[in-house]
């Protein structure tokens, strides 16, 4: 029989209240940080009710999106209603590169976890499938690379294999980030307006 511990002394109750207040403060700070960064990047996030229901009630999900810039995963992590496990190419997720450091920092701040993916080895995709089996949602860019023109490319086989685990596939759409000179392949604007639709 499973029993839950209940704070019985005033000191235990105070400790639990302090812990709950600290958790709430961290959550508010995380939300304020995300809103500020998205505003700085000129990202407008649009949530559809159906997508929110799929992501919050029908767990686990395989969240997928078109891939048009280096900002895509960061925008999704900052605005996702649930923490996601992101499948990220090893070129960007390992080592001492700036992108790897940013991804580690976001992960430590509670914006999800990073699972390195290597197109020549199946270990990362298997880890994503294990994550789904544990009831947690994952996020991948099924095209496998940034689109040079911002158009949707051919999806790789990994998405179909992950979906066979019984997960709901949730499709997002990013528009505008492909115009960024700093973060896209053929951008023509320094700070384009970006839309992310859940």
- Give yes or no for a contact between 132 and 87, defined as CB atoms under 8 angstroms apart: no
- Give yes or no for a contact between 164 and 88, defined as CB atoms under 8 angstroms apart: no
Closest CA to 114 of 125, 99, 103: 103
Residue extents of the structural domains in the chain: 8-40, 42-197
**Distance (Å, rounded) from C-alpha 42 to C-alpha 47?**
16
- Give yes or no for a contact between 62 and 170, defined as CB atoms under 8 angstroms apart: yes
pTM: 0.83
Let me know how long the chain is: 198
User: What pLDDT is stored for residue 20 in this prediction?
Assistant: 66
User: What pLDDT is stored for residue 93 in this prediction?
Assistant: 86
Give the helix ranges, DSSP H, for the chain. 10-40, 49-57, 72-79, 90-93, 98-108, 123-133, 157-163
User: What pLDDT is stored for residue 4 in this prediction?
Assistant: 47
Q: Running DSSP on this structure, what letter comes out for residue 26? A: H
Residue 183 tokens, joined: 């973060």
Mean pLDDT of the chain: 87
User: What pLDDT is stored for residue 129 in this prediction?
Assistant: 96
User: What pLDDT is stored for residue 90 in this prediction?
Assistant: 87
Angle in degrees, 0-180, between the axes of helices 10-40 and 72-79, rounded to the nearest 10? 140
- Taking residue 191's Cβ as centre, other Cβ atoms within 10 Å add up to 12
Residue ranges in the chain whose pLDDT is less than 70: 1-8, 11, 14, 16-29, 58
Q: Which candidate in 2, 58, 67, 120 is catalytic?
A: 67
User: What pLDDT is stored for residue 18 in this prediction?
Assistant: 63
User: What pLDDT is stored for residue 48 in this prediction?
Assistant: 95
The per-residue pLDDT for range 2-57, each reduced to its tens digit, is 444 555 677 677 676 666 666 665 666 678 899 999 999 999 999 999 999 999 98
User: What pLDDT is stored for residue 9 in this prediction?
Assistant: 76
**Distance (Å, rounded) from C-alpha 195 to C-alpha 198?**
10
- Torsion sign across C-alpha atoms 90, 92, 98, 104: negative
Determine whether 67 is an active site residue.
yes
Question: From the CA atom positions of the chain, what is the Rg in Å?
Answer: 19
Q: Are strands 168-175 and 61-65 parallel, antiparallel or unpaired?
A: parallel
Report helix, strand or coil for 156.
coil
């Amino acid at each position: 029989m499973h029993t839950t511990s209940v704070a019985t002394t005033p000191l235990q109750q105070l400790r639990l209240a302090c812990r709950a207040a600290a958790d709430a403060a961290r959550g508010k700070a995380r939300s304020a940080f995300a809103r500020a960064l998205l505003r700085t990047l000129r990202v407008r996030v649009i949530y559809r009710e159906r997508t929110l229901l799929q992501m919050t009630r029908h767990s686990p999900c395989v969240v997928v999106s078109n891939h048009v810039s280096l900002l895509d995963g960061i925008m999704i992590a900052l605005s996702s209603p649930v923490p996601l496990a992101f499948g990220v190419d090893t070129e960007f997720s390992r080592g001492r590169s700036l992108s790897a450091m940013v991804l580690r920092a976001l992960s430590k701040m509670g914006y999800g976890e990073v699972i390195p993916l290597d197109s020549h080895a199946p270990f990362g995709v298997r880890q994503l499938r294990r994550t789904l089996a544990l009831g947690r949602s994952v996020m991948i860019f099924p095209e496998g690379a940034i689109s040079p023109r911002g158009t949707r490319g051919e999806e790789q086989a990994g998405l179909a294999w992950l979906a066979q685990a019984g997960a709901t596939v949730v499709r997002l759409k990013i528009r505008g980030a492909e115009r960024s000179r700093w973060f896209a392949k053929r951008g023509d604007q320094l700070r384009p307006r970006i839309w992310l639709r859940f």
